[in-house]
Structure 1
Amino acid sequence: MDALVLEKKGELSLRDVALDETLGPRDVRIKLHTVGICGSDVHYYTHGGVGPFVVNAPMVLGHEASGTVIEVGSEVTTLAEGDRVCMEPGVPDPNSRATRLGKYNVDPAVRFWATPPVHGILRPTCVHPEAFTFKLPDNVSFAEAAMVEPLAVGIHAATKARVAPGDIGVVLGAGPIGLVTALSALAAGCAKVFVTDLSERKLEIAASLSQAIVPVPAKSGALKDRVMAETDGWGADVLFEASGAPAAAAGVFEPLAPGGCVVMIGGQAEPVAYDAGAAMVREARVENVFRYAHVFPRCVSMLSSGAIDVKPLITRTFGFDESVRAFEIAAEAPPADVKMQIELPQ
């Protein structure tokens, strides 16, 4: 089948790939409809790897997806041919200790789409377990459904933060993950979320999402001063580091209230500075996010109910035959774009 293949660092091709996927009794075969371009996909393209995951052989990209079930295994009971679905891209070992403890996202044996050596799903069809495939309500589009994967990171982060009604939140970084995290924090109960970024255009997009989102330019002292001014000098209850920038990560405790929580989301290629003293005097709680677990059905429900609206984040859509060009554009990081998606032929 034709697929978007990362041949090696900096080289993409749209070509035929032999992928032998046998349908197991508890699997479904899915015709892909929409696939989002994730920052990790772009990083594999531009750098040839993400942290310890290095592309040593041609790999199909893509892991944010929606589609339609076209075949079901003999023991599948919750899905049928014709069902519109989105798919959780990481499949753990069901017998691993992490999975048995309910922490399947940190299972070392998890097989995650477009993470070497596992192929992604920028291709016409795929086979996936029923347990990690979720039926869509009629009012959730394929494009919105392909946003469930990044949204799941934000919902997982808000869950880890234990957001309480009326909390004041801060999000560092207004990229796709930062923005879905801001929306997730609001949906979880935050009264206000300050979002900071270097890009003025990204901050404009953030501000357009909700009156409860306060954009703050990322310049020295601006965020802390703004948060303290609007909280009577107390600080933010929860802070989400979603930029992946070492300088941002080094200052996570500055706008944090005593007893507040920091959630580290953005991936860091190298160790970052950590102000242990600032954390200590606040008795800060620090959480870390690695993908997500147990949140896909919650995300689908919130999209369906209108509790979260991701449509404004989808800023550009390409045809499958434009996939290579789409990645070239994504690698340039246009400031007016948040999430780019690719639609496959139907």
Structure 2
Amino acid sequence: MQSLVLEKKDELSLRDFPAIDREEETLGPRDVRIKLHTVGICGSDVHYYTHGRIGPFVVNEPMILGHEASGTVIETGSEVRTLKVGDRVCMEPGIPDPNSRATQLGMYNIDPAVRFWATPPVHGILRPTCVHPEAFTFKLPDNVSFAEAAMVEPLAVGVHAATKARVKPGDNALVMGAGPIGLVTALSALAAGCAKVYVTDLAEKKLEIAGALSPAIIPVNVTSQDVNDVVKRDTDGWGVDIVFEATGSPHAAKTVFEALCPGGCVVMIGGQPDPIQYDAGAAMIREARVENIFRYAHVFPRCVGMLSSGAINVKPLITRTFDFSDSVQAFEIAASAPPADVKMQIELPQ
């Protein structure tokens, strides 16, 4: 089974991976076997490639990358009832322990025992097929493409963030960062009811893409504009109701309260590799509510529904598509962080 393998930091190869072949022979009664079609390149995949680790998760042996995926069911277990061979699907990549306390409380995404694709030591799905539980596999409506379906995973982060923010109709929000997660968060905030969403970044091309998504999105290039001045001008000095931090930048994280209104909410999305400075005084005088998110929970069906209805359109975020045979080159390009690209995807042979 040819797979995209991260051999070690800075070294990728497209090769057969016999260990996966052996593992994939077993199909449980409530599992489905899926032929992969489209896989997105996530920032975490690229980080493993360029750094060999993310926090405590270290690549100590070869690992297959990829976790944003769509495909077609080619086999079902004996007890599968909601899916059949031929169904087009997307897959939630984290499988929790059903007996864990976190899972039983409904917080399965923060189950310490969750097995998440392409997070050491669990392999990802840049390979021809995979076996996955029926419970975390979702049938696609006919009007949702494989490419859109592979965007459900990052979109789920944005929807989870908007849910944690408790968006109210007419809220104003600020999204710091116009990368894939920042832009799906902006779309999710609008879908949840925000009247206006400011989006900041350093890359003008990404801001152009952001501004084209909706007339309710106001792009702000922080190299030439002070977003706090823009927000205060537009809100008569009050500030935004919600700030979403989606850069993962310590410098940006230090400023999350500056544009926030009294009683507002900050949602921390971007991963921080090290401890960051936190202005407790600025939070205190606003009685700010601060939420942290880790991946997502209970939102995949909502995301599929919004793509199908047209409530959210992720097509403009897909800026480049590669053949599976060009996977190594695709990651090299992604690692260079081209300013004009938002989401790159890889299509597997069918």
State the 1:345 CA deviation: 0.3
* Structure 2 Cα separation of the partners of residues 186 and 225 of structure 1: 22
Name the SS of the counterpart of 1:79 in structure 2: coil
Matched, 1:199 2:203: yes
Query: 1:78 aligned to 78, 82, 86, which one?
Result: 82
Matched, 1:182 2:205: no
* Structure 2 Cα separation of the partners of residues 305 and 177 of structure 1: 21
State the 1:17 CA deviation: 0.3
Name the SS of the counterpart of 2:251 in structure 1: helix
Name the SS of the counterpart of 1:30 in structure 2: strand
Tell me what 1:5 maps to. Answer: 5
| 1:114-135 CA distance string (max 9 Å, x none) | 0000000000000000000000
* Structure 2 Cα separation of the partners of residues 145 and 220 of structure 1: 36
| Residues 157, 39 of structure 1: alpha-carbon distance in 2 compared, 3 angstrom cutoff | same
* Structure 2 Cα separation of the partners of residues 214 and 313 of structure 1: 17
* Structure 2 Cα separation of the partners of residues 337 and 232 of structure 1: 35
Tell me what 2:120 maps to. Answer: 116
Tell me what 1:277 maps to. Answer: 281
Q: How does 1:100-139 map to 2 (within 5 A)?
A: 100-139=104-143
Q: Which amino acid is 1:204 matched to?
A: E
Tell me what 1:23 maps to. Answer: 27
State the 1:58 CA deviation: 0.2
Q: Which runs of 5+ in 1 are unaligned?
A: none
* Structure 2 Cα separation of the partners of residues 310 and 151 of structure 1: 8
Tell me what 1:290 maps to. Answer: 294
| 1:72-110 CA distance string (max 9 Å, x none) | 000000000000000000000000000000000000000
Q: Which amino acid is 2:338 matched to?
A: P
* Structure 1 Cα separation of the partners of residues 244 and 65 of structure 2: 27
Name the SS of the counterpart of 1:67 in structure 2: strand
State the 1:221 CA deviation: 7.0
* Structure 2 Cα separation of the partners of residues 101 and 65 of structure 1: 27
Q: How does 1:47-58 map to 2 (within 5 A)?
A: 47-58=51-62
RMSD between superposed Cα atoms in Å = 0.7
TM-score by length of 1: 0.99
* Structure 1 Cα separation of the partners of residues 269 and 57 of structure 2: 18
Query: 1:261 aligned to 258, 265, 272, which one?
Result: 265
State the 1:330 CA deviation: 0.2
* Structure 2 Cα separation of the partners of residues 141 and 223 of structure 1: 36
Tell me what 1:327 maps to. Answer: 331
Q: Which amino acid is 1:37 matched to?
A: I
Name the SS of the counterpart of 1:41 in structure 2: helix
Q: Which amino acid is 1:227 matched to?
A: V
Q: How does 1:149-228 map to 2 (within 5 A)?
A: 149-219=153-223, 222-228=226-232
Q: Which amino acid is 1:243 matched to?
A: T
Tell me what 1:36 maps to. Answer: 40
| 1:22-43 CA distance string (max 9 Å, x none) | 1000000000000000000000
Q: Which amino acid is 1:285 matched to?
A: R
State the 1:177 CA deviation: 0.2
State the 1:156 CA deviation: 0.1
Name the SS of the counterpart of 1:298 in structure 2: helix
* Structure 1 Cα separation of the partners of residues 224 and 306 of structure 2: 36
State the 1:201 CA deviation: 1.1
Name the SS of the counterpart of 1:46 in structure 2: helix
State the 1:51 CA deviation: 1.3
Name the SS of the counterpart of 2:190 in structure 1: helix
Q: Which amino acid is 1:284 matched to?
A: A
* Structure 2 Cα separation of the partners of residues 326 and 178 of structure 1: 22
Divergent runs of 4+, >6 A: none
* Structure 2 Cα separation of the partners of residues 191 and 87 of structure 1: 31
| 1:126-158 CA distance string (max 9 Å, x none) | 000000000000000000000000000000000
Identity %: 81
* Structure 2 Cα separation of the partners of residues 221 and 209 of structure 1: 21
How many residues are matched? Answer: 346
* Structure 2 Cα separation of the partners of residues 220 and 281 of structure 1: 29
Tell me what 1:146 maps to. Answer: 150
Q: Which amino acid is 1:9 matched to?
A: K
